[in-house]
Amino acid sequence: MTQSTKALLTDFDNCRGQRVQKLSLTNSHGVTLSVLTLGATLYEINVPDAEGQPHNLVLNYPHSEDYLANPFYVCMAIGRTAGRISKGQFSINGRPVTVPTNEGHNTLHGGPHGFNTVIWDGQFDYSGKTPTIAMHHKFTSQDDGFPGDSDVTIHYALTDDNRVKISFTGQSDQFTPFNPTVHTYFNLGDQNSIEAHVLQINSTQRLVLNSEKLPTGEFEELTNTPYDFERPTPLKAAINGLQSIPERGLDDVYKVEPTRNEQVIATLTDPKTHRSVTLHSARNGLVVFTANSFTHDNMNFKRTGGYGSPYLGVALEAQALPDSMNHPQFGAVMLTPGKPQTHEITYQLSF
């Protein structure tokens, strides 16, 4: 462990009879990354403001129970597979598989017993030059209803060049889908709205979704539409252009091109504070959700002092395209028995 990186383990609270801990890393620039053992949740990315005071770039709650009491997966780990699975059904090598559903007839974000629902074993890993936060859990087929027993480890790292690196490693004894992410909601600014934030996405297409938000298998070209972020564009422009649809904002899956520009898939900037985050990912999907419906009960956000509001944050979820098991053209998301697989997401911070 280098002297420039500090690691701290503290008790966060108790949730339904179980202890929840917070693991934190702080680098030499005063950036702090904290993760909760509940849901392997990204609790904070604090950067110093102009006066040296910490500013959290992600949304969070003061209590563990708050995370379980709302339906929006705020900054929680998602898996075994992110997004929706149509009717909770797919096939593996020609064999039909059914997994538990939790959104009508469909399975959302790993189902009712996904990554976000468990308390992970959290430890610091000192095997490298600097410590990382390691979250581990074994998901059995009896627990979550997916095929096989899967060992999953999520490593959170903070570098001295202000990168947050998240790696998901899964290994299973059977073929099983593995498309994890973190449901990170960003608000880089000092206001309780992300409408002035500027977003750029390396994408010219989004998935066509049906009324249940399931992919049809088709793609829509984005040029000259409110969904077009190929050039840096204020989120307010898209939100204003989408007021006539039920979502009244973005809740969409972009097909990104990670081979362009060293796997940079998106950049989010707050022009007023000049804070920005650049997302790197090798996978082909990015979900963008502008928190259009953040008027739900139990939205006890720390930054607002206890309430939610539309456009409070923007979720940027790097992943493979959802429901890929039912759309082979989207790409493979299966773990092969006995062969570990790792996916990485990196947030390059600037402030």
Mean per-residue pLDDT over the chain, rounded: 97
Q: Is residue 266 part of a domain?
A: yes
Spatial neighbors of 259 by CB under 8 A, at least 6 apart, are none
Whether 116 and 39 map to the same domain: the answer is yes
Whether 101 and 147 map to the same domain: the answer is yes
Q: How many domains does the chain have?
A: 2
Which has the closest alpha carbon to 315: 166, 181, 185, 195? 185
Whether 58 and 115 map to the same domain: the answer is yes
The 10s digit of each residue's pLDDT in 303-312 is: 999 999 999 9
Whether 221 and 124 map to the same domain: the answer is no
Whether 214 and 319 map to the same domain: the answer is yes
Catalytic pick among 109, 317, 327, 343: 317
Backbone angles phi, psi at 88, to 5 degrees: 60, 30
Q: Is residue 331 part of a domain?
A: no
Whether 63 and 119 map to the same domain: the answer is yes
DSSP result, 250-292: -EEEEEE-TTTTTTEEEEEEETTTTEEEEEEESSSEEEEE--T
Identify the bridge partners of residue 35 per DSSP, sorted by sequence position: 23, 42
Spatial neighbors of 240 by CB under 8 A, at least 6 apart, are 226
317 is catalytic: yes
Given a cut of 70, the residues of the chain with pLDDT beneath it are 1-3
Whether 13 and 162 map to the same domain: the answer is yes
Q: What is the CATH number of the domain that holds 103?
A: 2.70.98.10
Whether 147 and 255 map to the same domain: the answer is no
Q: Is residue 330 part of a domain?
A: no
pLDDT at 1: 43
- What domain range is 105 assigned to? 6-179+344-350
Going by the annotation, the residues of the binding site for beta-D-galactose are: 183-185, 251
- Sign of the CA dihedral 51, 54, 58, 63? negative
pLDDT at 295: 85
pLDDT at 3: 55
Q: Is residue 303 part of a domain?
A: yes
Catalytic pick among 183, 197, 280, 327: 183
- Sign of the CA dihedral 284, 290, 293, 299? positive
Q: Is residue 337 part of a domain?
A: no
Whether 227 and 114 map to the same domain: the answer is no
Going by the annotation, the residues of the binding site are: 183-185, 251
Whether 101 and 51 map to the same domain: the answer is yes
262 is catalytic: no
